[in-house]
């Protein structure tokens, strides 16, 4: 029998404390996920689900161009968005950390990130206001006579990219800034002391030391972007659908849960691949 | 290489506060200089100005005879060893040490060889391929030293480098720093607040307080013959006894104090010749007290005193005494280990007058 | 020096351009919510509050707003509570496999919300459980629990242990220690995770969309509004949501700021 030592009593209490959270996660996250994985290996036939194990959905994914394109579109768009967002966010983070006086940095950062706090749906909608045929850009350009016919800025991949980049520039500014600001100023001084000019200091010392901030932001961007339904649906038009849109199509029109499940698993694998690639930089530690 | 350093009337103000007040210093090439003082005295500011990280508000700096006041760190013949070492965490040790060489355009093979030789100098050649986080604090400090020396500076600036080390390691590193400095011959300027450390390693010590230089000289000079009250108090325990100068003749002066009259030779007045009627502060170190009758040289009796407190410190007895002629003064004296000192005991204090230093009461 | 001046000008120019890019859609949104006219696009005809009136008159929109508030508050509270208990257990006691437990609790953060929603949807369908705001709440706890856990866990420093030991030494039971000592000490991070969860839940779309049926949350209702194309009413509700979110942000800022000041 277990000895009722102090440690045992403590341990039993601890299990009691952690159990609710664990149970919730297992019941409402792990189990559904496993169930969905199982579902992906079944098939939808004539309005009901046939529980016969088969890889039909996955095969269909590789065979049907429309389905496979969903993944490639997602990956391409996500790659472009991640790269652009990093390129645009880094200088901004740098300017706030280096050029803005200490006491205004917090304010500048909050301002740079404020539109983050509009509803995500509304934010994408606002880009429609800017980019559509009778939107702000077209009307302004036509009024000042630069163009005579409105440009097709909305309802295509470019609009989707713009909508995404707008969001993720703010996110990346936060992560890169957080990294920059906790670098000891002595690194810069040491590099200068040893003869490095501003560019060399940045290239050899600052940039490598901000990689964690960049990679964390890039990872978050990848995960959020590749799984997003809202922005492509509002801004992307109906042409180059991304994977989430295709998943939603399976659900909506055809109520094909097995196929939706299979496509979700594929999406999940893409995200896992990204996580493995960035795992080095992502660790949660206790202070 | 090595070079002399000249600081002329350097002043640094930050808004309304003055960090450095008209500081002038002449450092010979190859000297090991220690800037010593409490926090806020301006020693780190002076070091930053020497390194080129700050510009003086007025005054000039010359290194090796060349004007350096506004030259940026990259183009000065100085390197700095930072308090937190600032080793580049993402680079191996050999790349850290070779960084300055790389900035000078030296090729990879030669760079690595020189880096390894400097790592060898500090005893870390075997760890050349490791990264800073794999080392202990003491080892990281050695790498920082190697990195700073690898570019062959004329002047090495050290910003309280031994502060984070425990006592034993600190003593060891003090010896090593001294040995390395002798070997490479570079001028070292070292900042610390620990007077024992300063005395252990310095060729000359610069005692600083509130932006000014209080005293400047070899350790024994500053300890035995301080030129300011602050320096006297900072370098070690000291008894301050007020007195008034009565008569002056050729060899010395008669000073009247609460402990009695003493005749002090001229050499005791380190801050300038005495003048009659002037108030003065006598500085007597605890270890300079003798019992009447013993000791070598001209021992002057200072009257009787009662022991109010006594503690055994191994090498000596540390006693608090109240002079019978002035019971409200408390004197701290070190009595030899062989004596037996008891509370309430009455001793006759004596001192070799040559050991006393007399300084003006109010110093500008 | 000239190079410094050019850098300064370049930095200012870049900052202006980027801030312009970042604020452009928000400015357009808010500006045209006051449009005196039918379309939220140029020209700006005049200043009018009609669309805000329309928003407040829209029953479905207002009840969706209320639903959002309740779902956010309740799910955030549950997430905080579970996260706090779990963080307490894992930080203070040595449990076997604690690394795995931590990993499990954090895992949902790496999974797209769409997949979490889909998983729950398939299970609910399979078991014939109806969709409602409760199912949305469950989903929101799933996504917010990892966040609450991570924030609270990382703020439970070792220096707190002795304070809790002192309390126990003086006779306090476990519950008392947790409520009277630990929770107050961790108040900044508790509040930070609560408000952060509220912000995420308040704004969350895909889980709310897939897991609700008749009663919906605000983002879902706004989505239906979008069906009618560009409409200043959408601008109005969007601007209102922005205002509420910014208020939540300010409260978060106050508590996070105090927390960094303390430590």
| CB A202, CB A208: distance < 8 Å | no
Q: How far is CA B4 from CA A286, B156, B181, C140, C214, in A?
A: 50, 12, 15, 70, 85
pLDDT on residue A286? 34
How would you write the pLDDT of chain B (364 residues) with one tens digit per residue? Answer: 899 999 999 999 998 899 999 999 999 999 999 999 999 899 999 999 999 999 999 999 999 999 999 888 888 999 999 888 889 988 899 999 999 999 888 999 999 999 999 999 999 999 999 999 999 988 999 999 999 999 999 999 999 989 888 889 899 999 999 999 999 999 999 999 999 999 999 999 999 999 999 999 999 999 999 999 999 999 999 999 888 988 888 788 888 888 888 888 888 888 888 888 888 999 999 998 876 666 566 678 788 888 898 898 888 889 999 988 888 889 999 988 887 788 888 888 888 888 889 998 875 4
Q: How far is CA A84 from CA A81, A124, A197, in A?
A: 5, 18, 27
Number of domains forming the structure of chain B: 2
Average pLDDT (C21-49) is 86
For β-strands B252-257 and B299-312, DSSP reports them as: unpaired
pLDDT on residue A30? 94
Domain boundary pick from B200, B233, B266 = B233
H-assigned helices in C34-177: 50-57, 59-92, 98-106, 113-126, 133-155, 159-169, 174-176
* Structural domain contains residue A12: no
- The vertex-B62 CA angle with B58 and B68, nearest 5°, equals 75
pLDDT on residue A281? 64
Average pLDDT (C43-50) is 84
What tokens were used for A128? 């429609």
* pLDDT tens, position by position, C229-241: 788 888 899 898 8
Residues B217 and B248 in one domain: no
- Cβ contact B147–A194 (<8 Å): yes
φ/ψ of B357, rounded to 5, equals -120, 130
pLDDT on residue C108? 92
A286: nearest CB among C93, C125, C153: C153
- Cβ contact B99–A204 (<8 Å): yes
Domain boundary pick from B181, B202, B233 = B233
pLDDT on residue C258? 59
Residues B86 and B226 in one domain: yes
Domain boundary pick from B233, B257, B288 = B233
Q: Choose, out of C25, C40, C108, the residue to mutate when testing the contact with A (most A CBs < 10 Å).
A: C25
Residues of A with Cβ-Cβ distance to B158 under 8 angstroms: none
Q: pLDDT higher for A286 or C213? A: C213
Domain that holds residue B356: 238-360
CATH number at residue C178: 1.10.3720.10
| CB C155, CB C219: distance < 8 Å | no
What average pLDDT is seen over chain C?
Answer: 87
Q: Is residue C147 predicted with pLDDT exceeding 80?
A: yes
The radius of gyration of chain C from alpha carbons, rounded to an integer in Å, stands at 23
* Structural domain contains residue C235: yes
Count of alpha carbons within 13 angstroms of residue A51, beta-carbon side = 5
- Which of the other chains make 3 or more beta carbon contacts under 8 angstroms with chain A? B, C
- As a whole number of angstroms, the distance between CA A279 and CA C103 comes to 13
| CB A246, CB A67: distance < 8 Å | yes
* Closest by Cα among B149, B144, B157, B190 to B51: B157
- As a whole number of angstroms, the distance between CA C256 and CA C184 comes to 15
Helix (H) or strand (E) holding A1: none
* Closest by Cα among C74, C73, C118 to C209: C118
ipTM of the complex: 0.84
Residues B279 and B336 in one domain: yes
* pLDDT tens, position by position, C74-126: 999 999 999 999 998 998 888 888 889 999 999 998 888 999 999 999 899 88
Measured in whole angstroms, how far is the alpha carbon of residue C236 from the centre of its chain? 21
What tokens were used for A199? 């560019």
pLDDT on residue C104? 93
* Closest by Cα among A165, A234, A231, A176 to A209: A176
- Cβ contact B89–A209 (<8 Å): yes
pLDDT on residue B79? 93
Residues B156 and B264 in one domain: no
| CB C90, CB C98: distance < 8 Å | yes
* Closest by Cα among C148, C59, C156 to C106: C148
pLDDT band, residue A282 (cuts 50/70/90): low
Interface of A with B (CB under 8 A): 184, 186-187, 189-197, 200, 204-205, 208-209, 211
* Structural domain contains residue C213: yes
For A48, name the nearest residue in chain C, comparing CA atoms only.
C126
DSSP state of B10: E
Residues of A with Cβ-Cβ distance to B68 under 8 angstroms: none
Average pLDDT (A1-12) is 71
- As a whole number of angstroms, the distance between CA B51 and CA B73 comes to 6
pLDDT on residue B158? 95
Domain that holds residue A168: 69-281
For C135, name the nearest residue in chain A, comparing CA atoms only.
A28
pLDDT band, residue A82 (cuts 50/70/90): very high
Segments of chain A assigned E as strands = 43-45, 48-50
Residues B133 and B219 in one domain: yes
Number of domains forming the structure of chain C: 1
Domain that holds residue C69: 59-262
* Structural domain contains residue A52: no
H-assigned helices in B104-246: 108-121, 137-150, 167-184, 195-201, 219-224, 229-235
* Structural domain contains residue C143: yes
- As a whole number of angstroms, the distance between CA B36 and CA C250 comes to 48
pLDDT on residue A284? 43
Contacts of B56 (CB under 8 A, 6+ apart): B10, B11, B12, B20, B49, B69
| CB C130, CB C179: distance < 8 Å | no
Whether residue C43 is preceded by a cis peptide bond, meaning omega within 30 degrees of 0, is: yes
| CB B23, CB B9: distance < 8 Å | yes
Matching residue, tokens 């508050």:
C73
* Structural domain contains residue C48: no
Number of domains forming the structure of chain A: 1
pLDDT band, residue A147 (cuts 50/70/90): confident
* Structural domain contains residue A182: yes
- Cβ contact A194–B82 (<8 Å): no
Residues B247 and B164 in one domain: no
- As a whole number of angstroms, the distance between CA C91 and CA C87 comes to 6
CATH number at residue A216: 1.10.3720.10
Q: Which pTM value belongs to this model?
A: 0.79
| CB C192, CB C151: distance < 8 Å | yes
| CB B203, CB B32: distance < 8 Å | yes
- As a whole number of angstroms, the distance between CA C4 and CA A228 comes to 42
C95: nearest CB among A14, A35, A229: A14
Strand partners, B331: B321
What tokens were used for C162? 């002795």
DSSP state of B326: -
| Cα dihedral A179/A182/A187/A189 (nearest 10) | 120
Helix (H) or strand (E) holding A180: helix A157-181
- Cβ contact A261–C122 (<8 Å): yes
Average pLDDT (A104-108) is 87
pLDDT band, residue A78 (cuts 50/70/90): very high
pLDDT band, residue A287 (cuts 50/70/90): very low
Q: Is residue A17 predicted with pLDDT exceeding 60?
A: yes
Contacts of B196 (CB under 8 A, 6+ apart): none
CATH number at residue B256: 2.40.50.140
* Structural domain contains residue A241: yes
A187: nearest CB among B51, B53, B86: B86
Q: Choose, out of C15, C112, C199, the residue to mutate when testing the contact with A (most A CBs < 10 Å).
A: C112
């Amino acid at each position: 029998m277990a000895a009722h030592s102090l440690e045992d009593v403590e341990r039993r209490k601890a299990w009691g404390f952690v159990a609710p959270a664990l149970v919730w996660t297992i019941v409402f996250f792990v189990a559904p996920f496993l169930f969905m994985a199982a579902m992906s290996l079944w098939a939808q036939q004539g309005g009901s689900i046939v529980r016969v194990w088969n890889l039909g959905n996955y095969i269909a994914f590789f065979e049907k161009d429309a389905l496979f394109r969903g993944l490639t579109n997602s990956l391409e768009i996500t790659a472009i968005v991640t790269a652009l967002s990093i390129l645009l966010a880094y200088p901004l983070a740098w300017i706030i950390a280096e050029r803005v006086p200490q006491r205004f940095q917090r304010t500048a950062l909050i301002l740079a990130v404020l539109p983050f706090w509009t509803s995500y749906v509304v934010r994408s909608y606002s880009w429609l206001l800017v980019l559509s045929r009778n939107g702000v850009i077209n009307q302004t350009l036509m009024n000042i006579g630069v163009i005579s016919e409105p440009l097709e800025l909305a309802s295509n991949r470019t609009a989707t990219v713009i909508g995404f980049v707008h969001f993720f520039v703010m996110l990346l500014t936060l992560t890169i800034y957080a990294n920059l600001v906790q670098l000891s100023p002595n690194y810069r001084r040491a590099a200068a002391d040893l003869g490095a000019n501003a560019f060399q200091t940045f290239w050899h010392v600052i940039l490598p030391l901000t990689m964690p901030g960049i990679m964390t932001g890039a990872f978050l961007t990848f995960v959020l972007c590749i799984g997003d339904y809202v922005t492509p649906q509002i801004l992307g038009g109906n042409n180059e659908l991304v994977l989430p849109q295709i998943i939603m199509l399976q659900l909506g029109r055809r109520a094909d849960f097995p196929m939706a499940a299979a496509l979700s698993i594929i999406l999940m694998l893409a995200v896992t691949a990204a996580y493995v690639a960035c795992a080095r930089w992502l660790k949660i530690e206790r202070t | 290489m090595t070079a002399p350093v000249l600081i002329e009337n350097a002043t640094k103000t930050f808004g309304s506060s003055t960090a450095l007040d008209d500081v002038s210093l002449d450092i010979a090439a190859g000297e090991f200089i220690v800037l010593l003082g409490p926090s806020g005295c301006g020693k780190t500011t002076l070091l930053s100005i020497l390194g080129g990280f700050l510009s003086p508000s007025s005054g000039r700096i010359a290194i090796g005879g060349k004007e350096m006041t506004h030259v940026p760190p990259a183009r000065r013949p100085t390197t700095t060893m930072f308090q937190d070492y600032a080793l580049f965490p993402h680079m191996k040790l050999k790349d850290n040490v070779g960084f300055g060489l790389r900035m000078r355009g030296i090729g990879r093979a030669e760079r690595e060889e020189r880096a390894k030789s400097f790592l060898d100098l500090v005893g870390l050649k075997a760890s050349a391929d490791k990264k800073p986080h794999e080392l202990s604090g003491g080892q990281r400090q050695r790498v920082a030293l190697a990195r700073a020396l690898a570019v062959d500076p004329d002047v090495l600036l050290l910003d309280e480098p031994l502060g984070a080390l425990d006592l034993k390691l600190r003593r060891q590193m003090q010896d090593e720093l001294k040995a390395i400095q002798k070997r490479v011959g570079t001028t070292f300027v070292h900042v610390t607040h620990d007077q024992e450390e300063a005395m252990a390693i310095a060729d000359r010590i610069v005692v600083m307080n509130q932006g000014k230089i209080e005293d400047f000289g070899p350790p024994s000079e500053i300890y035995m013959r301080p030129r300011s009250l602050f320096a006297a108090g900072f370098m070690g325990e000291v008894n301050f006894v007020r007195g008034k100068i009565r008569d002056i003749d050729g060899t010395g002066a008669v000073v009247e104090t609460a402990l009695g009259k003493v005749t002090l030779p001229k050499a005791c007045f380190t801050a300038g010749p005495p003048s009659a009627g002037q108030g003065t502060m006598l500085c007597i170190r605890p270890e300079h007290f003798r019992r009447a009758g013993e000791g070598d040289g001209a021992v002057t009796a200072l009257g009787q005193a009662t022991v109010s407190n006594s503690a055994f410190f191994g090498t000596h007895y540390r006693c608090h005494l109240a002079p019978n002629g002035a019971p409200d003064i408390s004197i701290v004296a070190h009595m030899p280990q062989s004596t037996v000192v008891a509370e309430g005991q009455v001793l006759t204090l004596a001192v070799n007058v040559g050991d006393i230093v007399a300084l003006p009461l109010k110093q500008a | 020096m000239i190079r410094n001046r050019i850098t300064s000008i370049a930095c200012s120019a870049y900052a202006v351009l980027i801030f312009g890019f970042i604020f452009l859609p928000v400015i357009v949104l808010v500006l045209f919510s006051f449009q005196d006219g039918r379309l939220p696009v140029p020209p700006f005809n005049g200043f009018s509050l009609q669309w805000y009136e329309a928003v407040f008159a829209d029953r479905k929109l207002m009840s969706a707003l209320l639903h959002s508030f309740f779902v956010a508050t309740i799910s955030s509270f549950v997430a905080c509570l579970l996260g706090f208990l779990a963080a307490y257990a894992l930080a203070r006691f040595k449990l076997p496999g604690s690394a795995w437990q931590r990993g499990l609790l954090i895992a949902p953060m790496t999974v797209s919300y769409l997949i979490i929603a889909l998983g729950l949807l398939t299970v609910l369908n399979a078991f014939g459980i109806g969709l409602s705001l409760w199912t949305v709440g469950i989903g929101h706890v799933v996504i917010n629990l990892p966040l609450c856990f991570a924030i609270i866990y990382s703020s439970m420093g070792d220096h707190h242990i002795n304070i809790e030991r002192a309390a126990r030494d003086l006779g306090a039971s476990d519950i008392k220690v947790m409520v009277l000592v630990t929770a107050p000490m961790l108040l900044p991070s508790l509040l930070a995770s609560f408000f952060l969860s509220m912000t995420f839940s308040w704004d969350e779309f895909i889980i709310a969309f897939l897991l609700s049926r008749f009663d919906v949350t605000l983002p879902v209702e706004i989505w239906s509004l979008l069906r009618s194309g560009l409409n200043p009413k959408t601008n109005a509700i969007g601007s209102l949501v922005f205002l509420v979110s910014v208020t939540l942000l300010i409260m978060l800022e106050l508590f996070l700021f105090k927390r960094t000041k303390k430590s």
